[in-house]
């Protein structure tokens, strides 16, 4: 999807001046067209929804009062915006500006730039966005359940026919920084150049998905090499958090590798660290894929709600105690220290937690079940 505010960032549009319709810069551009000798009745059948219209208003060069009618027709046809080359008109009538503002219809004025050049560059940008949209659909399909390895390989080759069989997948998200002290320039296009023709990178959902592929034995350490490439592209640990898959040797496992990068970055977020690799996240390799299962969700939710309800009724901190206890791997002394409580207080609370969850149902696995419930709670929080 290509929108007006993206278009005006193109270098070829740098001399464009917005004179009306600021509220419509999120309008979607579907195509680009020129209004040359078309009269208003012709436009009703020729202008397409989402069209980026360009004109010098040659046809009404001595009729400035007609500009408002042309803009009205463009609005009725649901065009995306209008760009007027300042050949015959430097100023737009106030009535036309008021109409465009009322309907949030962006109107630009420009000079010097060739109209043919604008058409070529805007069409190129639209096609690029369409291509990226198709690639995102392919990634969505790779993440569908129950795909066999053959179908995954087909989708992988559709993403990039130059993929090699050895690869690693990264998912990168920008941190929510309060200030700009550590802000660095990052460009997904620069990263794509560094990854090379055998790789793949795209803005996906709320982050950036990167696939780096290599021939077997071509590189001694895929993860170290790709880490270096990410740093070169501006992926700084002060600004970004990263999750990476294990190294794979079969494109039929690409969907799984993408999921691994997602789970790794969620673990990094949960653990408040800058990066994580899937094979290093321990029991979360199991818990994260299961966290959205309806049975698993019901199990942890039923138990966690018992603690939440008890805390709300009695004004206690049993859930916080349980979280600290599990985060400290069952260390009562460390939990007491973190919560500024006596160890006996923590022991009493843990006993109360076991009672609330139902000691007779825990069957000697009180810690294991509590740990699973708390970790699933934190994953879904």
Q: What's the domain range around 10?
A: 2-121
The order of strands in the sheet holding 17-20 is 17-20, 107-110, 81-85, 51-55, 31-35
pLDDT score of 364? 56
Given a cut of 60, whether residue 181 has pLDDT beyond it is no
Given a cut of 80, whether residue 124 has pLDDT beyond it is yes
Q: Of 250, 268, 289, which closes a domain?
A: 289
Confidence label for 34 from pLDDT (cuts 50, 70 and 90) = very high
| Per-position DSSP letters for 35-49, written without gaps between them | ESS--HHHHHHHPPT
Handedness of CA 280, 286, 289, 292 (dihedral sign): negative
167/283 same-domain check: yes
149/282 same-domain check: yes
- Strands 81-85 and 107-110, how do they pair? parallel
261/219 same-domain check: yes
This prediction's pTM: 0.70
| Domain total of the chain | 3
The pLDDT tens digits of the residues spanning 54-99 come to 999 999 999 999 999 999 999 999 999 999 999 999 889 999 999 9
343/252 same-domain check: no
Q: Identify whether 302 is part of a domain.
A: yes
> Which residues, in sequence order, are bridge partners of residue 208?
172, 203
235/170 same-domain check: yes
The pLDDT tens digits of the residues spanning 206-218 come to 899 999 998 876 5
Q: Identify whether 137 is part of a domain.
A: no
Q: Of 66, 88, 121, which closes a domain?
A: 121
108/195 same-domain check: no
Q: Identify whether 133 is part of a domain.
A: no
192/114 same-domain check: no
Q: Identify whether 366 is part of a domain.
A: yes
The pLDDT tens digits of the residues spanning 252-293 come to 999 999 999 999 999 999 888 989 999 999 999 998 888 878
> Could you tell me the CATH number of the domain that includes residue 304?
1.10.10.2840
Q: Of 289, 307, 322, which closes a domain?
A: 289
Q: Identify whether 64 is part of a domain.
A: yes
176/192 same-domain check: yes
166/262 same-domain check: yes
The pLDDT tens digits of the residues spanning 182-193 come to 444 567 777 778
Gap between the Cα atoms of 96 and 71, Å rounded: 7
């Amino acid at each position: 999807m290509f929108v007006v505010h993206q278009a005006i960032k193109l270098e070829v549009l740098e001399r464009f001046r917005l004179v009306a319709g600021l509220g419509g810069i999120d309008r979607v551009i579907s195509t680009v067209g020129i209004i040359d000798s078309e009269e208003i009745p012709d436009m009703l059948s020729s202008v397409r929804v989402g069209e980026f219209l360009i004109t010098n208003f040659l046809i009404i060069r001595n009729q400035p009062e007609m500009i408002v009618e042309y803009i009205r027709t463009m609005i009725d046809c649901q065009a995306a915006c209008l760009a007027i080359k300042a050949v015959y008109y430097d100023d737009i009538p106030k009535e036309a500006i008021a109409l465009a503002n009322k309907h949030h219809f962006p109107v630009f004025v420009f000079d010097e730039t060739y109209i043919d050049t604008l058409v070529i560059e805007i069409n190129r940008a639209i096609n690029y966005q369409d291509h990226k949209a198709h690639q995102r659909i392919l990634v969505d399909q790779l993440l569908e359940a129950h795909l066999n390895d053959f179908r995954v390989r087909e989708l992988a080759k559709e993403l990039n026919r130059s993929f090699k069989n050895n690869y690693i997948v990264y998912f990168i998200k920008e941190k929510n920084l309060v200030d700009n002290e550590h802000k660095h320039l990052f460009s997904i296009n620069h990263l794509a150049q560094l990854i090379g023709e055998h790789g793949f990178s795209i803005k996906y959902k709320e982050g950036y998905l990167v696939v780096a592929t290599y021939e077997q034995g071509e590189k001694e350490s895929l993860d170290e090499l790709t880490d270096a490439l990410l740093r070169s592209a501006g992926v700084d640990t002060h600004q970004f958090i990263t999750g990476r898959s294990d190294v794979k040797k079969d494109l039929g496992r690409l969907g799984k590798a993408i999921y691994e990068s997602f789970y790794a970055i969620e673990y990094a977020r949960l653990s408040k660290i800058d990066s994580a690799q899937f094979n290093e996240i321990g029991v979360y390799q199991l818990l994260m894929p299961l966290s959205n299962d309806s049975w698993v969700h019901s199990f942890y939710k039923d138990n966690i709600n018992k603690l939440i309800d008890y805390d709300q009724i009695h004004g206690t901190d049993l859930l916080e105690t349980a979280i600290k206890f599990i985060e400290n791997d069952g260390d009562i002394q460390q939990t007491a220290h973190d919560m500024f409580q006596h160890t006996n207080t923590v022991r009493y609370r843990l006993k109360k937690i076991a009672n609330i969850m139902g000691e007779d149902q825990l069957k000697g696995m009180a810690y294991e079940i509590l740990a699973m419930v708390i970790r699933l709670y934190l994953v879904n929080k």
